[in-house]
Amino acid sequence: MSNDPLAIIFVSNGPGELATWVQPLAKELHKQIELRPKSNSSLRSLNLVLVPCPNATGNENLFAQKESQFENIVKAKNFWEMLLKPKKFGTWPSKGLVIFLGGDQFWSVLLSARLGYLHMTYAEWVARWPFWNNRIVAMSESIVKKLPRRMQNRCSVIGDLTADLTETAKIDNPLPSGKWVALMPGSKSAKLKIGIPFFLDVADKISKSMPDCKFLIPIAPTTNIDEIKYFGSIKNPISKQYKTGIKSITKANNKERRAKLITNHSTVILLQEKHPAYSDLSQCDIALTTVGANTAELGSLKIPMIVVVPTQHLLVMEAWDGLVGLIARLPILKYFLGLLISFVKLRKRGFMAWPNISAKRMIVPERIGHITTAQIAEETIDWLNSPSRLSGQKKDLQALRGVTGAAKNFCKEIINLLKEKELIS
């Protein structure tokens, strides 16, 4: 390979993208190219730049640091300053490659232009700036067809990066026997404020009707047990609207590898702090989840799900994506525009869960609106008591799942581009 210094920069945003796209690709790329920090002798480095995003939690850099995959990690709050003064955040060689892996595609365009680097985009649904890309790697053939004809030769179909999750879903610590419900309240405060008390109340109601049912919360990498405890307490104003709460939390130890939460109604919920929690999730019969990248993860793992967004809470507007979510966070405007935003968003929302978006039809139930915990508990019980329905949804999710190997295909495209531009030999 060439001895010229080279920097590869991943650009991403939120916890879902980091878990399902960034980390698996980084792991595979380190296998195929000698890159710092995994290789001390290499002149080439792998770096991560986080970009502003309403879906981010602010803790993404901490999650990214755990695997020691990146030489430099630039926080989202420093993105604009890096564009102005890149040398403040690292020693960037004259040659490099910026790869879009989440967020607004324009941010990676800006960064590649500022550094004078090559640019590559992973397109899940559409490549928005094709003429600014040296290469586009696409999840499916439909993305290629959307491109201008003269740009289609720059695009290769590599498959679904999320589909590779199934290869890591080996059961290494079996859950006790029984019917299991995974509760996925979200990864950022706006969702946790609502999701924790809502799902705890749902669990209490299911447990009352099905005492043998068991529950699991896989804790998102950007949150922790202390936040779960906080949002389940009376300090969270939404908790006061539900007849539930947290009686105790026992942390994991050498004997018990999962923490244990007990509600005020004595419902036991296991907490998995290890991430990714695919081993535990793959053993669950059904998941109750908010919208987001988690629906793509569950779909890839073929876990039946019910998507839940209780819009009766004003704070739910803060969890919407994009400009709507930004407006809803403004203290003065959110109380005046909150209800209007939700009304318009819900009327024109289309599908919100990844499997439904991908299939362009309703595969997993989306319960969005003024919904109650009793309704969700009853529907969950109906699903648990109907193995044929669960099996049917699993088959639908299996049919949507892309062929595994996307990360390896992606790395081949990266290497081919670098060789084509004579950045490596």
> Is the pLDDT at 164 greater than 90, yes or no?
no
* Section 366-375 average pLDDT: 92
Alpha helices in 242-386 (DSSP H): 278-281, 293-300, 322-328, 331-347, 354-359, 373-384
> Is the pLDDT at 395 greater than 80, yes or no?
yes
The rounded percent of the chain whose pLDDT value lies above 70 is 89
Is residue 138 within 8 A of residue 49, CB to CB? The reply is no
Taking only the tens place, the pLDDT of each residue in 305-324 is: 999 988 776 554 454 544 45
**What is the reported pLDDT for 200?**
97
Is residue 28 within 8 A of residue 69, CB to CB? The reply is no
Written as six digits, the tokens of 390 are 């669960």
**What is the reported pLDDT for 343?**
53
Buried/exposed code over 156-195 (b: 16+ C-beta within 10 A; e: otherwise): ebbbbbbbbbbeebeeeeebeeebbbbbbbbbbbbbbbbb
159 or 189: whose pLDDT is higher? 159
Model confidence at 350, pLDDT cuts 50, 70, 90, reads: confident
Average pLDDT, the chain: 88
- Whether the link from the prior residue into 365 is cis, omega within 30° of 0, is no
Integer Cα distance of 406 and 164 in angstroms: 7
Is residue 249 within 8 A of residue 259, CB to CB? The reply is yes
Integer Cα distance of 197 and 228 in angstroms: 10
Domains of the chain (ranges; CATH) run 6-159+405-420 (3.40.50.2000), 180-400 (3.40.50.2000)
Integer Cα distance of 383 and 379 in angstroms: 6
pTM of the model: 0.79
- Which amino acid, one-letter code, is at 270? L
Phi, psi of 58 (to 5 degrees): 95, -10
Is residue 300 within 8 A of residue 394, CB to CB? The reply is no
Integer Cα distance of 104 and 93 in angstroms: 25
Is residue 125 within 8 A of residue 105, CB to CB? The reply is no
Q: What is the largest CA-CA distance in the chain?
A: 66
The rounded percent of the chain whose pLDDT value lies above 90 is 61
**What is the reported pLDDT for 2?**
62
**What is the reported pLDDT for 265?**
96
